Amino acid sequence: MANKTGKQSFSGRARETAGQIKRVSIEGNIAVGKSTFARLLQSACPDWEVMTEPVSMWQNIQTANSKDSQGSPQTTVSNLLQMMYQDPARWSYTFQTYSCMSRMRTQLQPPPAHLLTSVGTAVQVYERSVYSDRYIFALNMFELGCISPIEWAIYQDWHSLLVEEFGPRVELEGIIYLRAPPETCLKRLQHRGRAEEEGVKLDYLEMLHVQHERWLVEKSTEIHFDKLKNIPVLELDASAEFQSDPVVQEQFISKVKNFFSSL
């Protein structure tokens, strides 16, 4: 599993532009098990390449803000994820600009060389996407009042511009929705114990759950990109023990294989 840049041969580029490499995102609530599921997919098939969510980038932003007594620049490391959780009204818009930019970068990376020559269904799998950035998190922060109406208007304006300009390069062919009750996600979140998430409460996970349901199940979220409106969604019951139960793992992999073949 990697976040890496691959070199392309001419035939690789041809294969990519011919749409033979499918692109799918894994979506779901915080701590539902996306990274765990992504590792499972990565180990299940060499034709699938998983790109992880760039959380460590959000936790380690280098800023050069002053000079020491010798005149050398002093760098500080800022944790934007922590800042966003501690003061969402101040930092949510900044967070969404950076999270969306980093997701855009991930989705724009060319496929690794080995996918270009694979004989099976080659798939690039992303942990979340530029679409959940907007239709789950940024929208939720706007509805919570942590992103102001003007920030929301600006976010949507540049988001639409970038997605339209990059066009097919950031499109997806499918979405896997890992679905579990918010209570299950809270238990997993607490068990994982990521320091920045200490203050996350059930009501926040409930709101994010509702956003996922509106977008991926009820389809009542207003979507601004034609291809995304009709995108196939594979829903998996993530309350099942897929982390360690080989039977559940096999069932999941089989459903995913069928889904990928259908795209």
Ligand X SMILES: Nc1nc(=O)c2ncn([C@H]3C[C@H](O)[C@@H](CO)O3)c2[nH]1
Q: Which residues have a catalytic role annotated? A: 127
Out of ligand ATP, ligand X, none, what residue 179 binds, judged by CB under 5 to 8 A for its kind, is none
Give whichever of 162 and 253 is closer to ligand X, judged by the CB atom.
162
Tell me the C-alpha distance between 174 and 83, whole Å: 32
106 has binding-site annotation: no
Query: Which residue in 201, 219, 46, 55 sits closest to 128, CA to CA?
Result: 55
30 binds ligand ATP (CB under 6 A): yes
Question: In the bound complex, what is the minimum distance in angstroms from residue 238's beta carbon to ligand X?
Answer: 15
SS3 76: strand
CA distances for 202 relative to 32, 137, 185, 214, 260, angstroms: 13, 16, 9, 18, 33
Considering only 27, 53, 133, 173, the residue that binds ligand ATP (CB under 6 A) is 53
Give whichever of 30 and 234 is closer to ligand X, judged by the CB atom.
30
Out of ligand ATP, ligand X, none, what residue 95 binds, judged by CB under 5 to 8 A for its kind, is ligand X
Give whichever of 99 and 118 is closer to ligand ATP, judged by the CB atom.
99
Give whichever of 208 and 236 is closer to ligand X, judged by the CB atom.
208
107 has binding-site annotation: no
Region near ligand ATP per CB under 6 A, out of 27-35, 43-51, 162-170, 220-228: 27-35
Residue 110 — left, alpha, or beta (φ > 0 → left; ψ -120 to 50 → alpha)?
beta
What residue type is assigned to position 40 of the chain? L
Residues sharing a CB contact under 8 Å with residue 128, sequence separation 6 or more, in sequence order: 25, 26, 27, 34, 53, 103
Considering only 24, 32, 138, 147, the residue that binds ligand ATP (CB under 6 A) is 32
Number of residues near ligand ATP (by CB under 6 A)? 15
Identify whether the C-beta of residue 22 lies closer than 8 Å to the C-beta of residue 261: no
199 has binding-site annotation: no
Question: In the bound complex, what is the minimum distance in angstroms from residue 183's beta carbon to ligand ATP?
Answer: 13
Residues sharing a CB contact under 8 Å with residue 75, sequence separation 6 or more, in sequence order: 62, 63, 64, 65
Residues 231-260 that bind ligand ATP (CB under 6 A): 241-243
Give whichever of 41 and 170 is closer to ligand ATP, judged by the CB atom.
41
Considering only 13, 192, 227, 229, the residue that binds ligand ATP (CB under 6 A) is 192
133 binds ligand ATP (CB under 6 A): no
Q: Phi, psi at residue 33, to the nearest 5°?
A: 125, 25
Identify whether the C-beta of residue 25 lies closer than 8 Å to the C-beta of residue 127: yes
H runs (alpha helix) in the chain: 10-17, 34-44, 55-59, 80-86, 88-108, 113-116, 130-132, 139-144, 149-166, 182-192, 202-212, 226-229, 246-262
Instruction: List residues forming the annotated binding site for substrate.
Output: 53, 85, 96, 128, 133, 197
Using CB under 6 A, list all residues that contact ligand ATP: 28, 30-36, 53, 188, 191-192, 241-243
Q: Which residues are annotated binding-site positions? A: 28-36, 53, 85, 96, 128, 133, 188-192, 197
